[in-house]
Amino acid sequence: MNDFSQVARQGFGYYFHDFLTKVHDIAGDLSEQEFWTNPYPYGNSIGHLILHITGNLKYYIGAQLVSTGYIRDRELEFTEPTPPSKEEALRELEVAVNMVIVTLEKQTDGDWSAAYRAEGVDDVADRFSIFLRCAVHFNHHIGHMNYTKDEHLRRRTSPDVK
């Protein structure tokens, strides 16, 4: 029988890897322009959502649990005027997800309930909850990405219909 730490590490690790795979699948069909363009008058481009998820993971897990020294500029995640290439943005997300998975693998029974504090997550009290919060947040934005990708693909086939 598995202990809780092993189950949590494997479960969270599986989903973070799965979410990364889904993002690669979503982005794979998009041109560089589509990746960085939001087809709607609201929301964000897929590229900016990826910058946001990357910043989220680098700050809440990297800076807070691993002490990477990462300084987050949340506003710039959505407004970066000279964003990296699609390839580089995806590579940075992969680095962040791999860092999360490595950090997960190091969690012991006592670590899950260890106190956690960070700006922007006043309702998160422990490490288990920050991993859960980050996973839920990641998955939430995959929904946005799918919706945005669908609109880009629709506009390819019906460019005159807005």
Q: pLDDT digits over 72-128, tens only?
A: 999 999 998 899 999 999 999 999 999 999 999 999 999 999 999 999 999 999 999
Let me know if residue 91 belongs to a domain.
yes
Secondary structure element (H or E) that encloses residue 144, with its range: helix 127-157
Tens digit of pLDDT for each residue in 7-60? Answer: 999 999 999 999 999 999 999 999 999 999 999 999 999 999 999 999 999 999
Tens digit of pLDDT for each residue in 135-161? Answer: 999 999 999 999 999 999 999 998 776
Let me know if residue 43 belongs to a domain.
yes
| Model confidence, pTM | 0.95
Let me know if residue 162 belongs to a domain.
no
CATH of the domain at 21: 1.20.120.450
Distance of CA 40 to the CA centre of its chain: 21
Structural domain total, the chain? 1
- The token duo for 87 is 């390839």
Closest residue by Cα to residue 88 from 27, 142, 137: 27
Let me know if residue 115 belongs to a domain.
yes
